[in-house]
A and B are shown apart, each in its own frame.
Chain A
Amino acid sequence: MTTLTSQDPQTEALILAQDMLDDPVNVDNPLRPIVQQLINSIQALERRLDKISVISDHYHAQLKSANERLEEAAHRDLLTGLSNRRDMIKRLTNEMNRVQQTGQTLTILLVDVDHFKQVNDTFGHLVGDQVLADIADMMRSILRTSDLCARWGGEEFLLLLPDTDSSNAKKIAERLRQIIMNHAFTGKDFSFSLTISIGGASSQPAQRLEDIIQAADTMLYQAKKLGRNSVQFV
């Protein structure tokens, strides 16, 4: 049987000291005031320790949430709030492992804004930045919770659609193309519309991640070559 030592040493000492004070034998013991003083100071120390713990916990919680915000920020693209390229590569790698285990199909969409340089040249970089942020918002609005979207390069985005075959992915890509095409980018003294080109590729058994991205990139190039504002799939 295990002996349960219920008390830590100072609690035990406190109990013993209190017992001594309470014992009628010690009513006139000249040590009484000293023992009482020791009891008081141990109790004060314990209160002090509790206080230090409580305050430290406040600050540690604060530090932890600051760290979490930093961690979160390290995965984000500042302008669009989407995942950054580094985070996407990590997620893609994880997702590919899952695909190999489960045999599900994932689809990658590479999205590029058509003639984006003209927006910057005509309206300035601030408007260009706003356009990218708006497009990111529109992408977010059509994505399902399991989908992930990243700013892949300057005006290029990568959408990861897990557990989605090419026929479903095509519908999503086509919807996205239409939403952007029908959107008016407006500001104080301008209003214009834009189009995007999309290249898509779905995972084939035993295909490597780089090859899927490469295939999507080839399809994006194809979409551009065919006159832009288009969706092309492998």
Chain B
Amino acid sequence: MDPIILQATKSTPAVHFDAQSSILKISGESYPENALAFYTPLKQWIQQFLGELQGSTVLQLHLTYLNTSSTRFMLMLLDQFEDAFKAGKSVEVCWYYHPDDDRSYEAGDEFREDLTVPFEILATTEPLGEEDR
């Protein structure tokens, strides 16, 4: 599986999906002009990745801003992890937020609410996926 490595832009987050190292990170702000076009390849990649997954994986998210359509797609990605978890796969979600950013914490808490997949919310001052930039 080819990795997806995207640098953050003004309106799209950095993405680091690497099947080999089982690292999945999305970080930054998301308000793409066309959220469908941005998130569809990510959704398809995750679909295949989770289908083939033998070991374990953690989806790491550090999202400082999501517009409405990005929120919708983020819920879809989380659904994929929820389904994989329910199918017995070893998957987790980690939601990072800056300690000064209450809103981002609350958003993470909302995302977690209806899920059974292990979902940690962690404060961090370190930007996630700095090595990708």
A58-B75 in contact given A51-B114, A52-B68 (Cβ < 8 Å): no
> What residues make up the interface of B, taking CB atoms closer than 8 Å to A?
65-68, 71-72, 75, 101, 103-104, 106-107, 110-111, 113-114
Residues B107 and A55 in contact, CB atoms below 8 Å apart:
yes
Task: Give every chain A residue within 8 A of B72 (Cβ-Cβ).
Answer: 48, 52
Task: Give every chain B residue within 8 A of A52 (Cβ-Cβ).
Answer: 68, 71-72, 75
Once bound together, how far apart are the Cα atoms of A62 and B111, in whole Å?
17
Residues B103 and A61 in contact, CB atoms below 8 Å apart:
yes
Once bound together, how far apart are the Cα atoms of A210 and B38, in whole Å?
55
A59-B66 in contact given A52-B71, A52-B72, A52-B75 (Cβ < 8 Å): yes
A58-B67 in contact given A51-B114, A52-B72, A52-B75 (Cβ < 8 Å): no
In the assembled complex, the CB of A151 is this many whole angstroms from the nearest CB of chain B, namely 28
Residues A58 and B106 in contact, CB atoms below 8 Å apart:
yes
- A interface majority secondary structure: helix
Once bound together, how far apart are the Cα atoms of A59 and B106, in whole Å?
9
Residues B67 and A55 in contact, CB atoms below 8 Å apart:
no
Does A67 count as interface, using CB distance less than 8 angstroms? no
Instruction: Output the nearest chain B residue to A53 by Cβ-Cβ distance.
Output: B68
**Residues of A in contact with B, size category:** 10 to 19
In the assembled complex, the CB of A83 is this many whole angstroms from the nearest CB of chain B, namely 26
User: B67's contact among A47, A48, A51, A59, by CB below 8 Å, is which?
Assistant: A59
Once bound together, how far apart are the Cα atoms of A58 and B104, in whole Å?
8
Once bound together, how far apart are the Cα atoms of A54 and B71, in whole Å?
10
Task: Give every chain A residue within 8 A of B71 (Cβ-Cβ).
Answer: 52, 55-56, 59
A58-B107 in contact given A48-B75, A52-B71 (Cβ < 8 Å): yes
Task: Give every chain B residue within 8 A of A58 (Cβ-Cβ).
Answer: 103-104, 106-107, 110
